[in-house]
Structure 1
Amino acid sequence: MRLKSLVAVAFAAMITVAEASPEFWVNEWPNTNFEKTTVDNWVEILSGGPPRDGIPALNNPSFIAVGDEGDIGDREPVIAVEFEGDTARAYPIRYLTWHEIVNDTVAGIPVAVTFCPLCNSGITFDRRVRGQVLTFGVSGKLRNSDMVMFDRETESWWQQAIGTGIVGDLTGEKLTALPTWMESWAEFKARNPQGLVMARPGAPRAYGANPYQSYDSSHRPFLYSGELPPHDIPALARVVRIGDQAWPVARLRDEGGVTQSGLTLSWAEGQASALDSRNINAGKEVGTVRVRDAQGRDVAHDVMFAFAFHAFWPDGQWMLK
């Protein structure tokens, strides 16, 4: 949706802030245990506009060979999932923008590939919790402008940015983030000519178009009333989050990469923003970040907006130099 539409939805949501409490949600969520929660102030949780499953998560998607894909632009971002023992897979952001969660299994690991456009947060989680495989959906709720997911098995609510249960029987449980990353389609193809890419879903969506046109040029996030980041960092500047530390992507770009805290963070041009121009492939340059440890192994991380890092890690460490 364009920014005018976002503002309209925001206004409508603000009108219903008074209804932000379990008493108003129990009909929609009859199986959620609202007595168990880490949420201190229910006003933090707002409707993002669509209802539960209004943004439909995908389950067990189909894939096609890299060489058979002809619609995705070379600069478009994809989430690369490359696990030992299975063929490398690309999950295009052109699809995740409209579905936000893909429940899949890769190398025998049940995974949830997630993308929250409002936070630019793209994280892949292991779906196993307490010996049970969970299936995730989109609740339609936001907290600090970040997607609140839910699992269909217990109808607990999960905060996508932190991978933690915040409402319901699984409150306090943490999902394991897996080492995947966002890169351009051209980069994935070059490294994985025999790889797979998620096939176009069957839903009637404008895949390849960005419904959040010019969002990452905004001064304030959508439906966010929290503190803005310190150090004069723009709210929608991209940062690389690893644990409770955040490296500005601008620093990586300017310095050509950083080795710090036992990690090497690299930056390479070629990836378009999915939240800039209407045509994703024509988006402004944001580059690709890779994070590896001292042994050269990929490390789980998230390239998210600065406001989201500050919201969920208010005491986090800003790696500015």
Structure 2
Amino acid sequence: MSVRQLKHWMVAAVVAVFASGASADPSFWKHEWPETDFSKHSVKNWVEILSGGPPKDGIPAISDPQFIRVGDESRIGDREPVVTVEIAGELPRAYPIRYLTWHEIVNDTVGTTPIAVTFCPLCNSAITFDRFVDGQVLSFGVSGKLRNSDMVMYDRETQSWWQQAIGTGIVGEMTGVKLKALPTWMESWGQFKTRHPNGLVMAEPSFNRDYGRNPYVGYDSSARPFLYSGENPPHGVPPLVRVVRVGERAWPLTRLAEEGVVSEEGVTISWQEGQASALDGANIGKSKDVGTIRVKDAGGKDVPHDVMFAFAFHAFWPQGEWMLGQ
């Protein structure tokens, strides 16, 4: 997908919204999703769900990722972000954002644990889920739909729709089912390979994509998110400021970068420089530094969390607690 194609899709998405009268009736999608049970849903207002531009699977999820040893990888810049997955008894794995930007979901199995590594560029949300749900292993794809500018995923087994930011089924058979988030995090490639010189890194997929380039140039400096009509965050927090979400609490990255380490509400959150933004310059590896976050509990164990934009936290947790400090 080229930048020109992306811009075309964005324009097409806006046109589609108006042409469909905001598609406030799910019958608009039934021809595309004949196996989805639209009678089951938690969506209060269908107008919240919009086409992001690409059709179903127009952004192709990866379901057969290949891996190479850390020492054999030479294309990824040290400052480029990766999603780190560490599962006991298995070699640590790095999933580069340079690939997830273009694919958004990687279905993988680490040892005996089936996982979905997800990244929504429009929300900067990177969450890894356990794919074993209600006695079966699900395989996730990209629906092409957005809700509050966040990716709506779907599973191929039941054709249900899932909200990526909250890991919950919102349409279809799996409505109300929660995915288990795993304690993974984003860090720089340099940080990962220093800690895990014998680890694994996802190999470049065999798609014609300009990996390493950011198709959303300047997005995290924008005044307004793409296809978002909700409220701005409270307390004067800019909508595209990153926050660290743990449960229903959010810590602004600006505060964490200033203080370095914050221990509150049973968790310790640390910030370390060295990770480039995936949503700043055209070249991800040369983009501005946003730093790496680690979240641990009182026992020193990693805690599931997300580093997302403030608008997305407010949209999905409108009653959430803002940890602004003094």
User: Which of the five TM-score ranges fits, normalised by the shorter chain?
Assistant: over 0.9
79, 104, 124: which one aligns with 2:83: 79
Matched with 1:209 is 213
244, 247, 264: which one aligns with 2:248: 244
What fraction of aligned residue pairs are identical, expressed as a percent?
A: 69
Matched with 2:14 is 11
| Aligned residue type for 1:187 | Q
| Aligned residue type for 1:65 | R
TM-score, with structure 1 as normaliser: 0.98
| Aligned residue type for 1:196 | L
Matched with 1:32 is 36
**2:323 is equivalent to residue 319 of structure 1:** yes
The 5 Å alignment of 1:56-205 reads 56-205=60-209
| Aligned residue type for 2:66 | S
CA contact (8 A) 1:6 1:222 kept: no
Matched with 1:266 is 270
State the SS of the aligned residue for 2:279.
Answer: coil
Matched with 2:296 is 292
Distance 1:229 1:15, change over 3 A: same
Query: How many Å apart are 1:17 and its aligned residue?
Result: 4.3
| Aligned residue type for 1:244 | E
**2:63 is equivalent to residue 21 of structure 1:** no
User: Per-residue CA shift, 1:231-255, capped at 9, x if unaligned?
Assistant: 1101000000010000001111101
CA contact (8 A) 1:189 1:195 kept: yes
After TM superposition, what 4+ stretches of structure 1 lie above 6 angstroms from structure 2? none
How many angstroms apart in 1 are the aligned matches of 2:73 and 2:270?
28
How many angstroms apart in 1 are the aligned matches of 2:199 and 2:83?
13
How many angstroms apart in 1 are the aligned matches of 2:145 and 2:7?
20
Query: How many Å apart are 1:27 and its aligned residue?
Result: 1.0
CA contact (8 A) 2:24 2:45 kept: no
State the SS of the aligned residue for 1:58.
Answer: coil
CA contact (8 A) 1:17 1:46 kept: no
**Unmatched 5+ stretches in structure 1:** none
How many angstroms apart in 1 are the aligned matches of 2:113 and 2:64?
13
How many angstroms apart in 1 are the aligned matches of 2:234 and 2:12?
28
TM-score, with structure 2 as normaliser: 0.96
State the SS of the aligned residue for 1:265.
Answer: strand
How many angstroms apart in 1 are the aligned matches of 2:16 and 2:131?
31
How many angstroms apart in 1 are the aligned matches of 2:19 and 2:250?
34
**2:259 is equivalent to residue 255 of structure 1:** yes
State the SS of the aligned residue for 1:177.
Answer: coil
Task: Give me the CA root mean square deviation.
Answer: 1.2
Query: How many Å apart are 1:54 and its aligned residue?
Result: 0.1
How many angstroms apart in 2 are the aligned matches of 1:197 and 1:16?
43
CA contact (8 A) 2:115 2:128 kept: yes
**2:306 is equivalent to residue 308 of structure 1:** no
**Unmatched 5+ stretches in structure 2:** none
CA contact (8 A) 1:183 1:289 kept: yes
Query: How many Å apart are 1:257 and its aligned residue?
Result: 1.4
202, 215, 218: which one aligns with 2:222: 218
User: Per-residue CA shift, 1:180-225, capped at 9, x if unaligned?
Assistant: 0000000000000000000000010000000000000001000000
Query: How many Å apart are 1:11 and its aligned residue?
Result: 2.8
How many angstroms apart in 1 are the aligned matches of 2:40 and 2:114?
26
Query: How many Å apart are 1:129 and its aligned residue?
Result: 1.1
Query: How many Å apart are 1:306 and its aligned residue?
Result: 0.1
| Aligned residue type for 2:264 | Q
How many angstroms apart in 2 are the aligned matches of 1:299 and 1:314?
22
CA contact (8 A) 2:245 2:306 kept: yes
Count matched residues. 321
State the SS of the aligned residue for 2:181.
Answer: strand
| Aligned residue type for 2:288 | K
